[in-house]
Structure 1
Amino acid sequence: MLTAAIPFPDIGHALFSIEIGSFTFALRWYALAYIVGLLIGWRLCVMAVSRPALWSGAGAPLDRCQIEDLLTWIVLGIILGGRLGFVLFYQPEYYLANPLEILKIWQGGMSFHGGFLGVVTAGLIFSLRRKAPMLSVADLLGLATPPGLFLGRLANFINNELWGRPTDVPWAVVFPGDAAQDCLGVVSICARHPSQIYEALLEGLLLGTVLTYLAWRRGWLRMPGALTGAFLVGYGAARSFVELFRQPDAQFVVPGNPVGHAIHFGDWGLTMGQVLSAPMILIGLALILHAFRQSRTATKQDASFVG
């Protein structure tokens, strides 16, 4: 069945490692993705608040020093939310039986949707404490997120994790390991969709480009909540689409449900990624609609006042 495939580029899990006696320090690609993604996101936020023309008459919601303080909150939100989201959404029974395993984040196991909720919670608390406009702060966070998504998905690919479903497309990748080669109905070498690359391009590069264009060229930062809504709709749609090619989590692939639907009705259903993305799309559309209505109302009031 396999007609063409690309060998997996075994880059290794770490950029470099240093051994000092019995201690080994390694800078892993996933950690590097987090660090560089946060730095790029921070820089985008600084650039945005430094341009008054991008904002409405009220001005930018934060200054540069406040953004640096917000960064600390966001890091905590990503780590705590990402880990707890993975525990609750994907393997609650295992971690309920082994609660100490929850603390072992170095062994992997992070959920984007959990990390997203963690960032929302951190941003909400920060905004309340600093009395900053929540929707405009959320717009900054939405603008800053895609670079981290892009780099994180590339790290997933390098780490040989979260690969796609078996396929015979010319760009299919032969991922190493028994789990990756355990493909139902494939008796020879099993090649899979490089779904991590799909996500990097859609959730990271494409979405980031669109949000940057909307912020810098279309004035969406002048409508609080609009850019947040665009991020939610864009990510939710991209993730839902890629779920068609991504190998579902093992706990959902059971006899009678080989496709791995978390919710299924006969042969049709939704994966857990699609279930978690659906509310994001709906909330995003509602935010965009609300932002445009508020903008039109403000424009009419200004015109009435001038008249």
Structure 2
Amino acid sequence: MPFLLIDFPSFSPIALQIGPFAIRWYALGYICGITIGWLYARALIKNDRLWSGSSPISLVQIDDFILWVTLGIIVGGRTGYVLFYNLPFFIEHPAAIFRLWEGGMSFHGGFLGCVVAVMWFARKHGISILSLGDITCGVAPIGIFLVRLTNFINGELWGRAADPSLPWAMIFPTGGDVPRHPSQLYEAGMEGLLLFIVLAVMIRRGALKRPGLILGSFILIYGLARIVGEHFREPDVQLGYLWGGLTMGMLLSIPMLIVGLVLIVLAVRRGAPKPAEAIR
């Protein structure tokens, strides 16, 4: 074994256990991500300086929306994983679709579930779909960061084989004796921390005054970050590489680049609404 090679630290998959009740790290990542994101969303809504006038979304509405977006993440994420990543298995074992504790969630499916939740909730309550999407995407990197960390803790979704001389190459318990990239940490840094910082700076500089700008920026930057991260991440064994070395994660991220760019252009051209329009 090369001198600088790092052994993967041994983590228990159980984060907290009280009697027969156990909370796994994966579930804890989602719980903390949604909770912290909700608190951050409330802070953004209360800061009138970030909006053209007052926020078009009330605190009561964002409190109600949390349940909607949570269901969107869970239902969309699981549906996406079933359809995009392991459909033949679930056709043969349909009952396994509901065993969420065994893992198996798709970001792209979860994102589409959030889109449905945003559109449905906004239409039901007569609020701006784009502004609600901005808030949702502005806080989303918090959850992405935490869930990617739990992927690392669980020793899953590890990276491709790395040069043994790479100082941070790791031997993962289920990855054989091959030193690998800790791609979960790469993704946590790019899709979570970096994306959060970029969006937070944009928000501080008035991006929420242009509905759809944060939404489009999130979609575009996440798509770019995911494509870069996929170059270091081992493809799912049941899928492997697709056409021309593409992975499913790359393929699903390509449309995000187009949609994100279109939303950014439209938001910039549309400009900021007048205060009276924002309050209405």
Aligned-pair identity in percent equals: 46
Q: Pick from 161, 168, 172: which aligns with 1:175? A: 172
**1:270 pairs with 2:233:** no
Q: CA RMSD in A?
A: 1.4
Question: Is residue 285 from structure 1 mapped to residue 280 from structure 2 by the alignment?
Answer: no
Q: Which has the higher contact order (CA 8 A, sep 6+)?
A: 2
The corresponding residue for 1:12 is 12
| Structure 1 residue 27: Cα displacement | 1.7
Unaligned runs of 5+ in 2: 275-280
Instruction: Give how far 1:40 is off.
Output: 1.2
Using the TM superposition, name which of 8-17 and 156-165 deviates more: 8-17
Other-structure match for 1:117: 112
Among candidates 166, 181, 184, match of residue 193 of structure 1:
181
Shift of 1:68: 0.8
Mapping of 1:226-305 within 5 angstroms?
A: 226-253=213-240, 260=241, 262=242, 264=243, 268-295=244-271
Residue in structure 1 matched with residue 69 of structure 2 by the alignment: 74
Deviations 1:115-172 (A, max 9, x none): 1111111111000100110000000001110010000000000001000001122111
Q: Is the contact made by 1:231 and 1:284 (CA closer than 8 Å) also made in structure 2?
A: yes
Structure 2 Cα separation of the partners of residues 61 and 9 of structure 1: 46
Pairwise CA distance, 1:3:
5.7
Other structure's SS at 2:251 match: helix
Provide the C-alpha distance between the structure 1 equivalents of 2:2 and 2:108, rounded to a whole number of angstroms.
Answer: 34
Partner of 1:49: 45
For 1:40, the equivalent position in structure 2 comes to 36
Bigger Cα Rg: 1
Matched, 1:215 2:203: yes
Q: Which runs of 4+ in 1 moved over 6 A?
A: none
Partner of 2:132 in structure 1? 137
Query: Secondary structure of 1:16's match?
Result: strand
Shift, 1:252, TM fit: 2.1
Alignment of 1:52-67 (within 5 A): 52-57=48-53, 59-67=54-62
Match of 1:303 in 2: none
Give 1:286's aligned amino acid: V
Deviation readout 1:64-113 (Å, 9 max, x if unpaired): 11111000001100110010000000111111122111111111111011
User: Does residue 141 of structure 2 align to residue 146 of structure 1?
Assistant: yes
Q: Distance in 2 between matches of 1:245 and 1:83?
A: 24
**Aligned-partner Cα distance in 2 for 1:12–1:199:** 22
Q: Mind listing any 5+ residue stretches in structure 1 that lack a counterpart?
A: 182-188, 254-259, 300-307
TM-score, length of structure 1 as denominator length: 0.86
Q: TM-score, normalised by structure 2?
A: 0.94
